[in-house]
Amino acid sequence: MKRLLIILKFFILLMLLSTTATQAEKISGVSPSYGKVYRSARIGDSYHFLLLTKNGMFYHLLTNKTDKLTVRELKSSKLLSILKKKQSWGKAFPKKGQYTVDNGKVYTKLLWNRIKVISSTKIKYLNKTFYLQ
């Protein structure tokens, strides 16, 4: 009787693992919208912005100086002065780097943080959900 229960639990676990793996494969085939700005919902008094380019670069910004940014502004080397013109006080933490695709999943190259592409309009990065702006 104990053997039967152990075998039954094993098969149930095996079925659950196979179902989860198939769902993950479907999601990994989705590609992000390149060259478009994604924005998080308001977190406290700040917003997070994310931009992925086709040439493997990503731009990430945390700021409470604005709630809208264009692609050109986010890619600009003078981003902090642009934000200062929009609002003189507040905080802004820009970050840029490269990303790589490994087995259909997107990761930052430096710290290997996952950029999970849920759909072409929705991305998860650093435990924040970004929506196409």
DSSP-derived secondary structure for 21-57? HHHHHHHHT----TT-EEEEPPBTTBEEEEEE-TTSE
Same domain (yes/no): 4, 55: no
pLDDT in tens, 36-71: 999 999 999 999 999 999 999 999 999 999 999 999
In degrees, rounded to 5, the angle at the alpha carbon of residue 96 between the alpha carbons of residues 60 and 101 is 90
- Asked whether residue 43 falls in the same domain as residue 107, the answer is yes
Report the domain count for the chain: 2
Instruction: Determine the structural domain holding residue 45 and report its residue range.
Output: 37-132
Q: Answer yes or no: do 9 and 43 share one domain.
A: no
Residues 69 and 109 in one domain: yes
Q: Pairing state of beta strands 92-102 and 122-125? A: unpaired
Same domain (yes/no): 99, 49: yes
Q: What residues contact 42, with CB distance under 8 A and at least 6 apart?
A: 67
User: Tens digits of per-residue pLDDT, 74-102?
Assistant: 999 999 999 999 998 999 999 999 999 98
pTM: 0.77
